[in-house]
Amino acid sequence: MNAQAATTGMAAEARPEPARQGWHTLAILAALMGFASISTDLYLPAMPAMGRALGASAGSVEWTISGYLIGFSVGQLLWGPVSDRYGRRLPVAAGLVLFVIGSAGCALAGSVPTIIAWRILQALGACASVVLARAMVRDLYAGARAAQMMSTLMTVMAIAPLLGPLVGGQILAVSGWRAIFWVLVAVGAATLAALFTLPETLAAERRRVQPLWRALLGYGALLRDPAILGYIGAGGFFYGGMFAFISGSPFAYVTYYRVAPQAYGLLFGLSVVGIMAANLVNARLVVRLGADRLLRWGTLGAAVAGLLLAVTARTGWGGLWGLVLPLFAFASATGFIVANSIAARTVPARCRPWSAPRSMAPASAVPRWSVPSPTEHPGRWAGSSPPRASGVRSVAGRCRGARLIHRAERRTSMTQRTWFITGVSSGFGREMTEQLLKRGDRVVGTVRKREAVAGLATQYPATFRVELLDVTDVTATKAMVDRAFAAMGHIDVVISNAGYGLFGAAEELSDAQVERIIATNLMGSIQLIRAALPHLRRQGGGRIIQMSTYGGQVAFAGNSMYHATKWGIEGFVESVAQEVAPFGIGMTLVEPGGARTEFRYGSAQVATPIPEYDATPAHAFMTMLDPKNGLAPGDPARMAARIIESVDKQPAPLRMVLGSRALESTISTLKQRIADFETQRELAKSTDFPPGE
């Protein structure tokens, strides 16, 4: 059958094509992203002068940094959901107005408490620009272009802290500390004017209309999750140290060690260079060593640097450089802690309480340092702070428990993933689709008959897209995959699930049955994966899940052709996984055991029996198809939940065996296979050329 593409409900979400998506757009987005940096870094060299002018202590002036953090943290909770409901440009404009007012208030303030209050307002405004600039990138660009734009903006964010203190020191030398805040007023006003030369990037039909209070309630799910609390707590402690450095270093360098304010930026910039270098090293090592290991190294390095800093600060050993070098080491640990905590064990997308599929919140109150590693692809959004060094694996392990999974399934989904699944009319495909739609994700599902999912299409018209497909039609498969990626803009997970069982002795099978199961189970899966790979590679990564069976490791009589397709696809996937890992594409083979699905009790095909096989293992195996002989132990709902969960694991597990019986059978078979190989050592050796030849 030739596939006829049919869509149900969800219209293609083509990205807007603004007239000026060039350097003009990049410059405005870069300016928006830079507000977090310039708001603080520009006036760091002036903090001692502010204290003297206002008659305030160093500790009081440092509270202007803390006030900014308070405002920025609160703003992150609000701007994402607001923009998802009202569009991007209006909230950014409102934020810029608040930023301008707050900056002017700081310039006119006559006391430190007044500056602190204005700094909170300034931060609320600056936060909108930083949070929503990332969302606007996702609105405007797709695939490799989105990744390219985000990388460029991240570079701007990394360079800004280098220039901020240097520029601020020069302004201080020429005009005094109040002029720095007037410069911020001018920058905010200019950016506000430039903003309106850009079109609205989130069209009205793509916005979420859920009430703001519902989005905010989603944060409660995070606060009840012990794993996430561990991440947030550890990140808070680390950033507490970082902001002690930011707020205290002007007084330590300028007041105590008599460094000229104009030269302060050079010492501060040295630590920023360390962060950038650590990110580059992390990017090279993370694929080979793993994010968890580098994360532990980073937290250990920060702890050692902190202890050394305490000793040098107490004893005065080393003078100025006895302070600069430990601070450099401590700050550099950011490159290992932030990127790996986001990419390796990030908060699952369904748990993040900002709502629209393209909203992206910054990873922390200082997003300029949260440079993603290559394992964080642009379709996944940073959210959550770095995990604690000790107990990371144990906390994450508890997160995998059945109790937590059940709770996760009941969470309100605020940020969506997009999934492409073949064979969603029944079995695991149907079960996964229902769970994903229930939690708010988007699903493109393929079926042979549209009426098989008519109920789901009616229930989820905005998030469920149906495509008719016969996976044996290679041309139709490629065209449909291209169409799905174009319509959705970005697909996070591709699940190759179409297939069926064929039981009977090899001699009993017809030629048509053999050809059909190879075309469906093996070639259909291979061609689907091949069609998806170019899109996943261009968009910067993603996941492919291939539904197999523990029969891809174990063989039983009466299943010869079914095993042939599964052993074949497992070899294909294991090889391709190695090929595409450098592109951030993870691949997983799911090997479930017996489950109570239509595969076993309805959709499987049986060969025409030959009487001579009646007393053989080939026909003995057929008794499993009769429910009177006992139902399969596997629960499809629980298995589907574990498959969905696997997408949050880093790195992607190559194999997942589901079902206790399946696991025991697989382990027993592999042990026996290894034992057999051990007896063949001399045989294998005897076929080699003698040494030296």
Residues in CB range of 529: below 8 A, 6 or more apart = 494, 496, 544, 546, 572, 573, 576
Q: Is residue 119 exposed (0-12), middle (13-18) or buried (19+ Cβ within 10 Å)?
A: buried
Structure-token match 């041309």, residue found: 475
Q: Smallest Cα–Cα separation from 6: which of 428, 474, 487? A: 487
| Range list of β-strands (E), 272-336 | none
426 is catalytic: no
Distances (CA, A) of 135 to 27, 146, 345, 419: 16, 11, 22, 20
678: tokens are 């051990």
Distances (CA, A) of 356 to 84, 215, 350, 416, 466: 5, 10, 11, 7, 21
List, in sequence order, every residue forming a beta bridge with 545; answer none if it has no partner.
495, 588
Largest CA distance in the chain: 102
Q: Are strands 464-468 and 442-447 parallel, antiparallel or unpaired?
A: parallel
562, 613, 646, 665: the catalytic one is: 562
CA contacts within 13 A on the Cβ side of 201: 28
548, 560, 646, 665: the catalytic one is: 548
Do 30 and 245 meet the contact criterion of CB atoms below 8 Å apart? no
Q: Cβ–Cβ contacts within 10 Å for residue 400, how many?
A: 14
H/E stretch holding 113 reads helix 112-140
The span from the CA of 363 to the CA of 386, in Å, is 9
548 is catalytic: yes
The span from the CA of 552 to the CA of 555, in Å, is 8
Q: Are strands 502-503 and 442-447 parallel, antiparallel or unpaired?
A: unpaired
Residues 238, 653, 408, 298, Cα dihedral to 10°: 0
Q: Is the dihedral of CA 136, 139, 140, 145 positive or negative?
A: positive
DSSP three-state, residue 624: helix
560 is catalytic: no
Do 412 and 218 meet the contact criterion of CB atoms below 8 Å apart? yes
The span from the CA of 460 to the CA of 392, in Å, is 37
Question: What are phi and psi for residue 280, nearest 5 degrees?
Answer: -65, -45
H/E stretch holding 588 reads strand 585-592
39, 355, 566, 613: the catalytic one is: 566
Counting every residue written for the chain, the total comes to 693
Strand ranges across the sheet with 442-447: 464-468, 442-447, 418-421, 493-496, 542-547, 585-592, 655-658
DSSP three-state, residue 467: strand
Residues in CB range of 683: below 8 A, 6 or more apart = none
DSSP three-state, residue 158: helix
Catalytic residues: 548, 562, 566
